[in-house]
Amino acid sequence: EVQLQASGGGLVQAGGSLRLSCKVSGFRFDDYVIGWFRQAPGKEREAVSGLSVADGRTYFTDSVKGRFSISNDNTRNTVYLQMNSLKPEDTAVYSCALRWGTAITPILVTDFYHWGQGTLVTVSS
């Protein structure tokens, strides 16, 4: 059974940093994409970033480019979302999800069938 476990959220001041982790388990293939999504109160869930584990290709939504990075530790089966220069508008529940394949785009919520629980990121001004 595919399982994803997200962690690392918290409260941080504007300009600060957080690193989210998404640990995956329950399978042995490496042709999958991990997507990070966020949902702020009253807003729709949006794609933030994605990583094709097999080839390392990445995706970032425009609002986080230059501030967020994504990486993979194969030894720990964990994908990290490093978030720097955080802004109050980054406040949201962040979730990681998995879909099979290697194509990095598009990153659509509807394409991801395996989800981890969300972790809350709060950025104070």
Query: What is the rounded CA–CA span in Å between residue 33 and residue 52?
Result: 4
pLDDT-derived band at 106 (thresholds 50, 70, 90) equals confident
Share of the chain above pLDDT 90, in %: 86
pLDDT at position 27, please? 84
Query: What is the rounded CA–CA span in Å between residue 19 and residue 31?
Result: 24
Mean pLDDT, the chain, rounded, equals 95
Question: What's the one-letter identity of residue 11?
Answer: L
Read off the pLDDT of residues 77-96 as tens digits, 9 standing for 90 and up: 999 999 999 999 999 999 99
Give me the DSSP letters along 16-27: --EEEEEEEES-
Sign of the C-alpha dihedral, residues 31, 79, 124, 117?
Answer: positive
Tell me the mean pLDDT in the region 15-34.
Answer: 93
Tell me the mean pLDDT in the region 116-121.
Answer: 96
Task: Give yes or no for a cis peptide into 88 (omega within 30° of 0).
Answer: no
